[in-house]
Amino acid sequence: MDLSYTPEEEEFRARLREWLAKVLPGLPPKPSPDDWPGRRAYDLGWQRMLYDAGYAGLHWPADAGGRGATPTQHLIFLEETEKAGAPYVGANFVGLLHAGPTIAAEGSAGQRARWLPPVLRGEEVWCQGFSEPDAGSDLAALRTRARRDGDDYVVNGSKIWTSHAEVADWCELLVRTDAKAPKHRGISWLAMPMDAPGITVRPLRTLAGSTEFAEMFLDDVRVSVANRVGEENDGWRVTMVTLSFERGTAFVGEVVACRRVLGELAREARKNGRWDDAVLRRRLGRLNAEFRALWRLTQWNVSESERSGGVPGVGGSVFKLRYSRARQDLYDAAADVLGPEALDLDSRWTLDRLSSLSYTIAAGTSQIQRNIVAERILGLPKGR
Amino acid sequence: MDFQLTDDQRALRAGVRELLDRRFGRERLRAAVDAPELDRALWRELGEAGFFALRLPEAEGGVGLGLPEAVLAFEEAGRALLTGPLVATHLAAGEVSGAATGETVVAAVDGTLVEWLDEADVVRGDVTGAVAMRSADPLTPLHRVPRAAPPDPVAALLIAAEQLGSASRTCELAVQHARTREQFGQPIGAFQAVKHLCSEMLVRVEVARGAVYAAAVTADPLDIAAAGLLADEAAEHGARDCLQVHGGMGFTWESDVHLHLKRAWLRARRGQSAAEAEETLAEELAAVAPGPRT
């Protein structure tokens, strides 16, 4: 058990810090949350800066244009960029963390050459067309169908919860190509150009009032067969391969941010007098224990994946279950620190409290995560 | 950074588990419930195996290992529900003659409690006015004393390690039962209501493990305070959920579940209280702008 970093890791950290200190003051002002073209330009601009400095695709394999960094270096990158207040991955999320790695793992040489460099250089944005109105937790029940017509697929159906659909160039799309096969065996993975005729994007407003994602209606959309990654009807496996890019680093920046917020809460409570409330104080103390432990669990999972050569451990679901609840507890505590001010949408933390409600739902609900932990880690029988 | 067990640490853990399986298995455990007395032969064997001298320098006849190794050994002790004043004797190694080898049984005042007072050869702390209790834990004789001793951070860490071992064991017991016990024509572990109880047990164990192992590496009192809170939660809540999964059988004397629960309750009363630990951790937040130490 060694929590110290090697000289190489420390050097990586030092160079990164130095670079961040140099470039962050020169960033343009952050666009407003509703300014989607502005957000796209800002996020792509940041990605371009990362690319020029040699930090793009840090965790991608070198033969896909990435840096082949170790999981620990990736952890350091996410920790330091968060601490320095650097921009988030934002609109580059799907390209860098899902579609890109999928193409890197399963795409042909031509597909890799076409799609990977623009993601790394901050030139193209990807979105994800997986969930459907009737296929949420049961994703493999998806019904959007693709019919073969010459060199094209003709796609009909609808997708939901698609982030950045308004500003994306490409969509990684899961479609049903064989309606008769068992549900996991009739799915294919397509790269759909978002400027193709027949795509209608309708933004969805979240309970926090913002339009973070959209519904997408697909009406006779033609997608070239050459845009299929992997074999026809093998799309489920192709998609799951990418989930193995999760190396315990998914929430590194957020845990760092939560620990900063916790300190801000304590100092705010000192200032407004609520620190005298022992119940609130002890709650904050317990949250400190909680987020310290989550940080340690992150380091544990990262070390595990480093030892296994980047193969993920089983810790992802365990971590997400605990972290998603801790994040909600944190912002509930924030509301108690604020008191009546917590009802003011302009108060610090109020919008964060609202958006924290998505954490136990998005990317696999807590109920699904518990099934995964029970069946895949504990070996309990499938059933209901 | 390599926050995983080394090969030597894995071997040490396996060695302690093998020793305890052989010398303190289920039969011996149940015999101890019926007649709670200290097994002096086992105590010497633990001494020979280096359990008490683990952190003593080799020059002083010890094993020369550190807190992480001690934590792994105590985790195994917690898992096996090993009896006796283990922490007090371990901490006395090198200070009390015969403690390191297991010749001398050392008890100590911990808060206002003393375990195994009547069986101990040496008692550390002020036990004037000690009164015997009818201990809720059938495996641990207890006295209470009027004057409290201040908590020791290393003792708190080793107790947290025992809690972690117990929590991990009750999770295993619950899963074993849920796999084999059938109702409505299927293993009860196929029902989501049962599955989700087991999953949450594992989550608490793994979160506590990160905290306990990290505290063993840093020996930072704040890390130890956090580890104690999470390990207590994992052990107490885990034993209760294990009891629930076992249904009526879990409520019986012959099941081992209550032994884990009662010991977990006892350990949670030792060392720093939850309130003190939370206040300490709250104070740190208000004092400085914390970033994760790296």
Q: What is the pLDDT of residues A238-295, one digit of tens each?
A: 998 876 555 678 889 999 999 999 999 999 999 999 999 999 999 999 999 999 999 9
Predicted confidence (pLDDT) at residue B51 exceeds the cutoff of 60:
yes
- Say yes or no: B160 contacts chain A, CB-CB below 8 A: no
Binning pLDDT at 50, 70 and 90, where does residue B294 land? very low
**What total number of domains does chain A contain?**
3
Q: ipTM value of the model?
A: 0.95
Residues B14 and B124 in one domain: yes
* pLDDT class of A314 with cuts at 50, 70, 90: low
Report the CATH number that the domain containing residue A100 is assigned in CATH.
1.10.540.10
Domain boundary among B149, B169, B188: B149
Is A133 among the domain residues? yes
Task: Quote the CA–CA distance of A182 and A368 in Å, as a whole number.
Answer: 21
The domain boundary residue, chosen from B149, B175, B191: B149
Nearest-angstrom CA–CA distance, A242 and B80: 40
Nearest by CB: B292 against A270, A283, A295: A295
- B181 and B140 together in one domain: no
**Selected catalytic residue, list A79, A246, A304, A306:** A246
Per-residue burial over B152-176, b if 16 or more Cβ lie within 10 Å, else e, is bbbbbbbbbbbbbbbbbbbbbbbbe
Let me know whether B206 and B271 are in one domain: yes
CA distance A58 to A75: 10
Instruction: For residue B218, give the nearest of A3, A263, A300 by CB distance.
Output: A3
Of B73, B58, B54, B86, residue with least CA distance to B5: B73
CA-based end-to-end distance of chain A: 39
Give the model confidence (pLDDT) of B271-291 as tens digits.
Answer: 889 999 999 999 999 986 544
Asked if A173 contacts A159 with a C-beta cutoff of 8 angstroms, the reply is: yes
CA B145, CA B107: separation in Å to the nearest integer?
A: 13
Which of helix, strand or coil describes residue B177? helix
Task: Indicate if B162 and B208 belong to the same structural domain.
Answer: yes
Residues B145 and B33 in one domain: yes
Closest chain A residue by Cα to residue B178: A380
B93: which DSSP letter?
A: T
User: How many residues are there in chain B?
Assistant: 294
Q: Do A381 and B209 touch (CB under 8 A)?
A: no
pLDDT of residue B293 exceeding 50: no
A371 and A280, same structural domain?
yes
DSSP B206-250: HHHHHHHHHHHHH--HHHHHHHHHHHHHHHHHHHHHHHHHHGGGG
Closest partner residue to A263 among B214, B280, B290, by Cβ?
A: B290
B284 touches chain A (CB under 8 A): yes
Closest CA–CA distance from residue A110 to any residue of chain B (Å) = 37
- Same domain membership, residue A256 and residue A355: yes
CATH number at residue A193: 2.40.110.10
Chain A neighbours among B 216-235 (CB < 8 Å)?
Answer: 216-218, 222-223, 225-227, 229-230
The rounded distance, in Å, linking the Cα atoms of B29 and B19 is 14
* Same domain, residue pair A256 and A367: yes
How many helices (H) and strands (E) are present in chain A, helices listed first?
12, 8
Angle value at C-alpha B138, between B133 and B139, nearest 5 degrees: 105
Q: Tell me how close the Cα of B209 comes to any Cα of chain A, in angstroms.
A: 8
Same domain, A82 and A130: no
Asked whether residue B132 falls in the same domain as residue B234, the answer is: no
Would you give the distance in Å from CA A129 to the centre of its chain?
14
What CATH number did the domain enclosing A339 receive? 1.20.140.10
The domain in which residue B171 lies consists of 153-287
Closest CA to A84 of A57, A120, A55, A123: A55
Instruction: Please give the model's pTM, rounded to 2 decimal places.
Output: 0.95
pLDDT score for B290: 46
The mean pLDDT of B25-54, rounded to a whole number, is 95
B185, B136: one domain: no
CATH assignment at residue B91: 1.10.540.10
Q: Under an 8 A CB cutoff, do B202 and A377 touch?
A: yes
Whether A383 and B186 lie within 8 Å, measured CB to CB: yes
> Token digits for A305?
């994946």
Check if A11 is active-site: no
What is the CB neighbour count within 10 angstroms for residue A152?
Answer: 16
CA distance B116 to B108: 9
User: How far, in Å, CA of A46 to CA of A55, rounded?
Assistant: 11
Domain identity same for B64 and B139: yes
Suggest the residue from A82, A137, A296 to mutate for an interface test with chain B (most B CBs closer than 10 A): A296
Query: Which candidate in B242, B281, B288 is best for mutational testing of the A interface (most A CBs within 10 A)?
Result: B281
Asked whether residue B1 is assigned to any structural domain, the reply reads: no
Q: Residue A330's domain spans which residues?
A: 246-377
Domain membership of residue B141 (yes or no) is yes
Share of chain B above pLDDT 90, in %: 94
Q: State which of A208, A233, A258 marks the end of a domain.
A: A233
Count of the separate structural domains present in chain B: 2
Same domain flag for B87 and B180? no
Taking a C-beta distance cutoff of 8 angstroms, is the pair B90, B52 a contact?
yes
Q: Is residue A187 part of a domain?
A: yes
CB-nearest partner of B192 from A13, A322, A371: A371
CATH of the domain at B212: 1.20.140.10
Is there a domain that residue B2 lies in?
Answer: no
Whether residues B53 and B137 fall in one domain? yes
If asked whether residues A260 and A150 sit together in one domain, one would say: no
The reported pLDDT for the residue numbered A40 is 96
